Structure 1
Amino acid sequence: MTSAHPNTFAIAQQQFDLAADLLDLPQSIRAILRVPQRELSVNFPVKMDDGNTRVFTGYRVQHNLSRGPAKGGIRYHPSVDLDEVRALAMWMTWKCALVNIPYGGAKGGVIVNPQQLSLGELERLTRRFATEISILLGPEKDIPAPDMGTNAQMMAWIMDTISMHRGYTVPAVVTGKPVIIGGSLGRMEATGRGVMLMVREVARRLGRNITDLRVVVQGFGNVGGTAALLLDQIGCRVIGIADSSGGYTCPEGLDVAAMRSFSDQHPTHTLEGYTAPGVQAISNAELLELDCDVLIPAALEQQITVTNAPHIRAAVIVEGANGPTTPDADQILTERGILVVPDILANAGGVIVSYFEWVQGLQEFFWDERDVNDRLERIMIATFEHVWQIAQSRHLPLRIAAYLLAVQRVADAEVTRGVYP
């Protein structure tokens, strides 16, 4: 994937500034919304299996709390830095406001390659990091969730750590945890399911038959892998898939279920070494430029840039990842007539079902999976319709339309609450 990037937080601010200009927001509100409200940086020791102690660096950033407690994932990745976490927290604010759930945006991260640590080392790191940021966490304050490099087991460790500090079990302090300890049915697939729903709705709006769509997915983790599988199940032809091991393409369509099984059983949980009749190995860069109807970037930020945007051959891009398209690339795609369903809409399924999990945990009353999926679909489709109407009426790209709706909601909350004291 790409290497030299613009500053991620600068991109998030640039996107906000564009919406703020179109909304004619007062300078006082812009000043508040343009920066995070709280930032916590921690350096913490972890005992390794060999007896040595390593010091890791982690962050928790809360962007805005005007609409409710902070919500956002925790990322384990070697490239994590404070500006990335700031950007992700800001995007979470807009995402929550866009789908109209009562959260503000937050994000966390630790600079680490989780694949290089044992299970015991990951547990000790997770529990120590949770302890370091525990001053911010709570069901009424800040509720983490899984993100890149983290999973349901790590959320269980965080919940248990916070519960041990409190002296009683606090299920609603995290979401995305195992069902057996208060997680929600449907949470694991929620983000990918939301991406699938957006592909389906765009096809409907454009008068395309879903079974005629050729789909390319960059990223084969929880988001990309789930989206690819669900799209395959509703009749799309998935012709390209990539993960950290590289890209794989087959014009006749890939066997997504077989690829998921291969990845699940691989020691590194990747597609490294995958072969099948008719499948060609290609690079991630080549995958993004495949001739297709729908491209789903579901990996890291800044994958579609000014360098490759002129060569993208998809008719529609549905952003499964956060921030996969730079603003300059966005402009090129718009000029070329490529429709982009933005990240704050396309991948909102995860935070929507995280909200459901939080509500279920607070009430100690749990829903069945069909109820969860039906509620998710209603919110995603209603939000898509609202954004589509704004885009059509004001002749705007979907990203700008989504930002106008989200930023206005947060700005209204700030004005209504006022400035303390």
Structure 2
Amino acid sequence: MYASEATQKYFHQAADHLNLPCGLRETLLLPRRELQVQVTLEREDGCLANFVGFRVQHDNSRGPMKGGLRYHHEVDLDETRALASLMTWKTAVVNLPYGGAKGGIDVDPSTLTSRELEKLTRVFVDRIHDVVGPDTDIPAPDMGTNHQVMSWFRNQWEKYHGFNPAVITGKPVEEYGARGREEATGRGVGILTVKLMKRLGRKPEDTKVAIQGFGNVGSHAAKFLHDAQFPIIAVSDISGTYYQEDGLNVPELIRHKFHHPNGLLEGFEHAKHLPMDSLLSLSDATVLIPAALGGVITDDNVDSVSAPIIIEAANGPIYPVADKKLHDRGTVVLPDILANAGGVTVSYFEWVQNRQHYRWSLDRVRQELDHTMSEAFEEVWQRAQQMKVPLRTAAFMIGIERVQRATELGGGW
């Protein structure tokens, strides 16, 4: 419910500044199509298990729809609808020729074997293959899915429609995936953190960073910022918070995580070990980067968050009530629809390469990512300064304006 309420609230805040009429607001908010399917899996013990799958296609006025596939036990239609809407504004903010979509299956993937996960994915494709494609709706990895799931998805879809790797992004590099896709979201977070600090007049070496979550996004953001001379004083995962006042050895942290059997920081000895939740309230952190789950900063704990700058690497890490409190006390928040758009940006580059039948170098991918994210940041920053609104409102305003213009030009309004 949080994702839906937050998305609607932020949309209407921006729409109020744009003076959008009610009818147009409803047009822009309502999804084009919602699909709910039954996914039946024969498990290895011979029993049948039934799951519910979703695909919500929100808007295609600016191009094919784009959005991840989430395998998680809390996936439902309401959350999927909200996240599809967010993808519409996110792709518009960074000016990609896409609309928004989202999908997934209500399943805990940790309860399935690899073979069962593959069968589940293939049955799901059987149910939705006729409404996705390289010119209509292009899925990608999300929570609970990865490049292997994308490879199964593509293989099953091509059984119906023939060879076309552009049907899905986030594929393995060996399977027409893009170099740099795995690091893209975290690298984008790092790029924009550097840009924001320059705008705020802060030097990297004097800006202490705390990162909640040390998965794919958090670890790549940490590496980028560490290389840019930012002291990373704390990181956390489910095993706790790891703190070093003068800065952690990030390469050593990454090596430890790589060699841990479960990919955790558990047992890392070259830092002070603190409770997991303590990272949010560290008093010496200048920049806080929530890079794990949504809804981690709430009305209950926002008063303990002292970092003056927050970069939303996760989707929806701040509840709207907490967001208002942070704004009222002067905290600068770089919103998720801009901060974590590096992933969908490099997904777009992957799609472009697939359509061109041509592979870019890693250097080119990184250069194009830097250019796209930097340009979007400058537009959002300038709008926020001109309109005297938070960066989140400015980002939504730009995204909504672009979708509105495309809708009007296409005769949809």
SS of residue in 2 equivalent to 1:332: helix
- TM-score, length of structure 2 as denominator length: 0.96
Output the CA distance in 2 between the equivalents of 1:98 and 1:24. Answer: 19
- Unaligned runs of 5+ residues in structure 2 are none
CA distance in structure 2 between the partners assigned to 1:407 and 1:212 by the alignment: 36
Q: Which runs of 5+ in 1 are unaligned?
A: 1-5
Alignment of 1:74 with 2:86, yes or no, is no
In structure 2, what is the equivalent of residue 376 of structure 1? 369
**4+ residue stretches of structure 1 with deviation over 4 A?**
none
Find out whether 1:413 has 2:406 as its counterpart: yes
Whether 2:282 is the aligned partner of 1:290: answer: yes
Q: Distance in 2 between matches of 1:212 and 1:137?
A: 48
Q: Give the alignment of 1:122-141 within 5 angstroms.
A: 122-141=117-136
1:159 partnered with 2:154 = yes
Which of the residues 29, 33, 37 maps onto 1:38? 33
SS in 2 for 1:239: strand
Query: Could you say what secondary structure the match of 2:34 adopts?
Result: strand
1:240 maps to a residue whose letter is: A
Map of 1:3 onto structure 2: none
User: Match of 1:91, as an amino acid?
Assistant: L
> Whole-Å Cα distance in 1 between the matches of residues 320 and 19 of structure 2?
20
| Amino acid across the alignment from 1:288 | L
Q: Which amino acid aligns with 2:402?
A: R
> How far did 1:269 drift?
2.6
Q: Partners in 1 of 2:276 and 2:18 — Cα distance? A: 41
Q: CA deviation at 1:299?
A: 1.4
Greater CA drift, 191-200 or 44-53: 44-53
Paired residues for 1:315-330 under 5 Å: 315-330=308-323
Aligned with 2:178 (options 175, 184, 198): 184
Q: Is the 8 A contact 1:97 1:410 kept in 2?
A: yes
Deviations 1:84-138 (A, max 9, x none): 1111111100010011111000111212222232211211111212222212110
d(CA) in 1 for partners of 2:44 and 2:246? Answer: 47
CA RMSD of aligned residues (A): 1.5
State the 1:160 CA deviation: 0.6
More displaced 10-residue stretch of structure 1: 194-203 or 225-234: 225-234
* 2:254 equivalent in structure 1: 260
Q: Which amino acid aligns with 1:37?
A: R
Q: Does 1:27 align with 2:22?
A: yes
Instruction: Give the aligned partner of residue 58 of structure 1.
Output: 53
Q: How many residues align?
A: 412
Tell whether the 8 Å contact from 1:162 to 1:170 is kept in structure 2 after alignment. no
Equivalent in the alignment of 2:360 = 367
* Inter-partner Cα distance in structure 1 for 2:47 and 2:239: 31
Inter-CA distance 384–35: structure 2 relative to 1 (3 Å threshold): same
* 1:395 equivalent in structure 2: 388
CA contact (8 A) 1:317 1:340 kept: yes
Deviations 1:37-63 (A, max 9, x none): 211112211122222221122211111
Residue 339 (1) aligns with residue 332 (2): yes
2:85 matched to 1:93?
no
CA contact (8 A) 1:197 1:377 kept: yes
**Structure 1 length normalisation: TM-score?**
0.94
